[in-house]
Amino acid sequence: PVMGGVSLLLFGLIASNGLRMLVTNKVDFDENRNLMIASVVIILGVGMETSGISIPIGNYSLPGMATSALVGIIMNLILPVKSEEAAEEKSAD
């Protein structure tokens, strides 16, 4: 029971610190792009690590946390960023 309580506290603190970094850096979750990226990264990371799934690449196996980090980077590069000019034109109409 003690190790379970300590583990719960440890992982809760790690998750809370991650969320605190997002808030401190003023990540705008009103923007769908940011919300989608964060959601996919969290679900992939937690889900793959919990179920023990990894992606085999040759002689190496890519664990869930690394996979979710790569997916987040790729999504950040692929998903379009809403430009300020487009937002201003839309609000002017």
Find the domain containing 46 and state its range: 27-80
Predicted pLDDT at 1: 75
Query: What would the two tokens of residue 46 be?
Result: 């937690």
The pLDDT of residue 18: 86
> Using an 8 Å Cβ cutoff, are 79 and 36 in contact?
yes
Domain count within the chain: 1
Which pLDDT score is estimated for 85? 55
**Residue 39 confidence (pLDDT):** 93
CA distances from 65 to 32, 76, 80, 87 (A): 23, 16, 24, 34
pLDDT averaged per 10 residues, the chain (length 93): 89 89 90 92 89 89 92 94 67 65
Asked if the structure places residue 10 within a domain, the reply is: no
* Residue 19 is assigned to a structural domain of this protein: no
pLDDT score for 84? 65
